[in-house]
Amino acid sequence: MLIKRASDIAPSEITSSALFHRRREFIKLAGLGSIAGAAGMLGLPHTASAATRFADLRKGPYGTDEKLTPLKDVTTYNNFYEFGTDKASPAQSAHTLKTRPWTVSIEGLVKTPRQFGIEDILKLAPLEERLYRMRCVEGWSMVIPWVGFPLATLLKQVEPLGGAKYVEFTTLDDARMMPGIRSSVLNWPYREGLRLDEAMHPLTIMAVGLYGEELPNQNGAPLRLVVPWKYGFKGIKSIVKIRFVTFEPETAWMRAAPSEYGFYSNVNPQVDHPRWSQASERRIGDFLKRKTLMFNGYADQVGQLYTGMDMKKYF
């Protein structure tokens, strides 16, 4: 895979989704391989500063023709408590996170525990662009063009053993790079988990970028989980450890408020958060709220994973 470095781009200049969708026309027009170069020559607005743009992205499955949430909103309205609990904080303070070198340790019930450098992970599989809806447990949603590959591709590298039933993920826990960790708002490190079949589902991806570029730090660089039929907090960011286990792992939010956040956390308009309704959501950029869809609109793909399960009990 080819990674090219863009240069001389002001961080304040942001690509609108309309421009983003027309990007291929511009490339053709300029007859250049590098989008950054083409955009530069044509004097087009750019995305965030020194981010690396991925070349030759494949269009992934499960697309949507819904309007994409503007890059500015995707990168300035974040829940990433390691950088503060305010939604504007991560964009302001996540620059302290160093994402190179970066190692992900895959361990637990596997035949061959392994450590992967981020460079190796990026070469594991062809990177795809996946346009997914993201529904936050707080009642807002976005449509984000992620760049990534199926999580299954990474998990298959280590050959899980028969006893492995769940996968546990852990975020980096480094107070020097993550100022929010000094507060005890959550029990650090941030942990998340999936059932093995959820983890292996083709919808579940490891994202390494968005809007065609490397992930901004505030969105969970250098790699994060995206599980589009679950509430956004399941999409654990800046992952350093993946562990195969037999029993259901305890997640950071279950630990913080067990009556409010369950292990499954599937998007479900019929099961309310104890303190607020989940029946509707505000798509960022929209004025009126819209109805929330079962499994965030991915019921056809994932419904069979939960056949016969009491979704109120296993919330």
Partner 1 sequence: MNFRQPAARQIAALKIVLFLLCLIPLAHLLLNAWRDELGANPIEFITRALGTWTLNFLLITLLVTPLRHVTGLHWLLRLRRMLGLYAFFYGFLHLLTYLWLDQFFEWSAIAKDIVKRPFITVGFAAIVLMTPLAITSTKGMMKRLGGRKWTRLHRSIYAIAILGVVHYWWLVKKDITQPLLYAVLLGILLGYRALRLAREKQRQLAADPNARS
For partner 1, the closer CB: 115 or 183:
183
Strand 58-59, strand 128-135: pairing: parallel
Which of positions 254-273 make contact with partner 1 (CB under 8 A)? 256-257, 272
Q: Is 275 in the site for partner 1 (CB under 8 A)?
A: yes
For partner 1, the closer CB: 116 or 233:
233
Q: Is 85 in the site for partner 1 (CB under 8 A)?
A: yes
Considering only residues 34, 49, 76, 105, which one is a binding residue for partner 1 as defined by CB under 8 A?
A: 76
Q: Which residues contact 110 (CB under 8 A, 6 or more apart)?
A: 158, 159, 160, 161, 164, 244
DSSP category for residue 238: S
Residue with tokens 């901004």: 216
Taking the complex as a whole, the smallest distance from the CB of residue 186 to partner 1 amounts, in Å, to 7
Count of residues that bind partner 1 according to CB under 8 A: 25
Q: Would you call 182 exposed, middle or buried from its count of C-beta atoms within 10 A (0-12, 13-18, 19+)?
A: exposed
Q: Cα 48 vs. chain centroid, distance in angstroms? A: 18
Considering only residues 20, 26, 62, 77, which one is a binding residue for partner 1 as defined by CB under 8 A?
A: 77
Considering only residues 98, 165, 195, 282, which one is a binding residue for partner 1 as defined by CB under 8 A?
A: 282
Which of positions 169-188 make contact with partner 1 (CB under 8 A)? 183, 185-186
Instruction: Measure Cα distances from 129 to 61, 122, 149, 206, 301 in Å.
Output: 9, 14, 8, 11, 18
78 with 90: CB under 8 angstroms? yes
Residues in the site for partner 1, rule: CB under 8 A?
Answer: 72-73, 76-77, 81, 85, 87-88, 138, 140, 183, 185-186, 256-257, 272, 275-277, 282, 284-285, 287-289
